[in-house]
Every structure is written in structure tokens, then in C-alpha cells.
């Protein structure tokens, strides 16, 4: 093993003892500063010199001076101890949930509605916490959770998560019917689900969205939605609807925005679009738990 690869096992405590003597240039004053007696301090300094194989101090009968190696070690020790203190402080902050990084899986439609101000508040109040948003389908989020590649996931109707995962409802929401403005069903204040039996649907791919759940709702109502077109982005779906190419189900958060050529109507029988946060209770960090609590509290009052 060459010199650059050597592993040093010097205790940080020895470096603190050394720094006190180096700054005071007096063993008695350094011992008082460290709240210890002088003889053991002298022994510790000799131990450090022995480990490093070099003299750190020139000892005279009435004075102490640093060798060249000692002066270099003093500057390096100051930097090292400062870095160690900063690292430990960061770890303490992470433990208290004041600093860290959160990998958050999310479906795009969740960012509209009351979660948006909740997330904004958390980001503003916690500038040392970095939230990474990973827009993924529920199925992908579940896989990422099982692999511990995200800290939590947010998607709709996650009321029965897989074994080992915990879910908490953040927000009540409903699916609405999005219609072209001139569609015959716009005359209804609320629409019976069976009226959609023969309607053409524009949908998001089931693997990337809530459409697996919505198809099951239609099956229970006695029909399978007739999907004539698919689009990857919700705004594309709504653009196609504005051109009269079909209808769709969309979470009520989208009705908060103005979509030219599109009208939203509720259903007679509510289709829940409740948002849940899903996480591993045994792996979740305190920082992530603080975010979950913030989202839950603000969502309840908005």
C-alpha cells in the first residue's frame, strides 16, 4: 500500500487536543481549555506524533513552537473539524426533519387542487428540503416504493395498498364528465352513468393513469367504455374533446381551470377520485412524514 492509500485511524479527539495546544502554544493553557490536567494531554500529543511518525511541536523549557508539519496539521485540522461539525449538524437536521431530500412519486392531476398550496407551503417553509417530483403511473410508483427508490407516492383511490405499504387519504375528490360544449348531455345538471353507455371516450392509456379504475366503475354499471382515441397528456385529451371527438372522465381539479370548448358535469352517482399518499411505514423518513402531515392538514382546510 502506498502513502496515498494508507488508512489513518487517528481519533478526532486527538486532533482536538492537538489543535488546542497548537492554538495556545502552551500545554498548561491548552489543558485548562480542555478541562483536563496537563500530563494526560502531553501523553495524547505524543501518541499522535507516534501515529504520524513526525514531531508536531518543538518543546523548549519555557516555550512550545510548531514544526512545519505541525503548522500544516493545524490548518488541516481546523478544516477537518469544521467539516465534521457541519456533517454532524446536517445529520441532526435530517433526523429532526429540517433538512433532506424527498423523492415523491405523483400523478400529474394531483398537482391541481388543494395539494398544490400544501406543497407550496412546505417548500417555502423548508428551504433546506429538496423535493424531487417523479410523475409516474400508480403501477410504476408501487414498484418504485417496493424498491425503495421513492419515499412516498401519490395517486387516486389507493385505499388498498399492497402488503407492507401504508396509505393515507389526503383529499376527497370526484371524477366529472368532460363534454364538448355542444354535446347533448350538457343540458343535465348531473349525468346518470348509464347515459354514457354508447358515448365515444377519449382516454389516457390505462397503464399510465386512473383509467383501470374508471373502466371497472363502468363495468359495474353494465357497460364497457367505448374508447375511440387515446392521448398521453390530460390537456391533449381535453383539446380533443373540445373538438367534439368524444367525452372523458376527469378529476374535478381540472374543472378549476378554463378549457375552451369543454364543459364539466358531475355524475348522479359520485365516482370518487380521492388522493392518497402511499409509503412504507418502516422505511419512511421523518422529513417525509412532516411533508405528509403538512399535505394532510392543509388539504383538510382548503
Average pLDDT over residues 169-177: 91
**How is domain 3-95 classified at the architecture level of CATH?**
Orthogonal Bundle (1.10)
Q: Does pLDDT of 85 surpass 60?
A: yes
Is a pLDDT exceeding 90 seen at residue 278?
A: yes
Mean of the pLDDT values across residues 223-241?
92
CATH top-level class for 103-170+274-301?
alpha beta
pLDDT band at 298 (very low <50, low <70, confident <90, very high): low
* 28 pLDDT more than 60: yes
Does residue 247 register a pLDDT over 50?
yes
Q: Does position 42 have pLDDT exceeding 50, yes or no?
A: yes
Q: What's the pLDDT score for residue 69?
A: 93
Domain boundaries, the chain: 3-95, 103-170+274-301, 174-272
What distance in Å separates the CA atoms of residue 88 and residue 190, rounded to the nearest whole number?
Answer: 59
Mean residue pLDDT across the chain: 87
Cα angle 74, 77, 83; round to 5: 145
Segments of 136-260 assigned E as strands: 152-156, 166-171, 174-180, 200-203, 226-230, 248-251
Long-range Cβ contact pairs of 181-190 (< 8 A, separation 24 or more):
181/242, 181/261, 181/262, 181/263, 182/244, 183/244, 183/247, 183/263, 185/247, 185/265, 186/263, 186/265, 188/265, 189/265, 189/266, 190/265, 190/266, 190/267, 190/268
89-128 pLDDT tens trace: 667 766 665 557 899 999 877 887 778 888 888 999 888 8
Is 174-272 in the same CATH topology as 103-170+274-301? yes
249 close to 175: Cβ distance less than 8 angstroms: yes
Average pLDDT of the segment spanning 270-295: 90
Q: How far apart are CA 133 and CA 105, in angstroms?
A: 6
Q: Band the pLDDT of 1: cuts 50, 70, 90.
A: very low
pTM above 0.85, yes or no: no
Mean pLDDT of 252-270: 92
Superfamily of domain 174-272: Periplasmic binding protein-like II (3.40.190.10)
Amino acid at each position: 500500500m502506498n502513502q496515498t492509500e494508507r488508512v489513518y485511524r487517528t481519533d478526532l479527539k486527538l486532533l482536538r487536543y492537538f489543535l488546542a495546544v497548537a492554538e495556545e502554544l502552551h500545554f498548561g493553557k491548552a489543558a485548562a481549555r480542555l478541562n483536563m490536567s496537563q500530563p494526560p494531554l502531553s501523553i495524547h500529543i505524543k501518541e499522535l506524533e507516534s501515529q504520524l511518525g513526525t514531531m508536531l511541536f518543538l518543546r523548549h523549557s519555557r516555550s512550545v513552537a510548531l514544526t512545519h508539519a505541525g503548522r500544516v496539521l493545524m490548518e488541516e485540522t481546523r478544516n477537518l473539524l469544521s467539516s465534521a461539525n457541519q456533517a454532524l449538524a446536517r445529520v441532526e437536521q435530517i433526523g429532526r426533519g429540517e433538512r433532506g431530500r424527498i423523492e415523491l412519486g405523483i400523478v400529474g392531476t394531483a398537482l391541481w387542487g388543494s395539494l398544490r398550496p400544501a406543497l407550496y407551503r412546505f417548500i417555502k417553509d423548508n428551504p433546506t428540503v429538496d423535493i424531487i417530483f417523479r410523475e409516474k403511473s400508480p403501477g410504476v410508483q408501487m414498484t418504485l416504493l417496493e424498491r425503495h427508490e421513492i419515499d412516498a407516492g401519490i395517486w387516486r383511490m389507493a385505499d388498498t395498498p399492497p402488503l407492507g405499504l401504508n396509505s393515507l387519504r389526503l383529499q376527497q375528490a370526484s371524477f366529472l364528465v368532460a363534454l364538448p360544449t355542444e354535446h347533448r348531455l350538457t343540458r343535465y345538471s348531473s349525468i346518470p352513468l348509464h347515459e354514457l353507455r354508447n358515448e365515444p371516450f377519449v382516454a389516457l392509456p390505462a397503464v399510465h393513469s386512473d383509467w383501470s379504475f374508471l373502466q371497472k366503475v363502468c363495468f359495474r354499471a353494465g357497460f364497457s367504455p367505448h374508447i375511440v382515441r387515446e392521448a398521453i397528456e390530460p390537456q391533449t385529451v381535453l383539446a380533443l374533446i373540445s373538438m367534439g371527438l368524444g367525452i372523458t372522465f376527469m378529476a374535478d381539479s381540472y374543472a378549476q381551470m378554463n378549457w375552451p370548448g369543454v364543459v364539466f358535469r358531475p355524475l348522479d352517482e359520485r365516482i370518487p377520485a380521492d388522493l392518497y399518499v402511499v409509503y412504507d411505514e418502516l422505511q419512511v423518513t421523518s422529513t417525509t412524514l412532516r411533508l405528509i402531515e403538512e399535505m394532510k392538514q392543509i388539504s383538510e382546510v382548503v
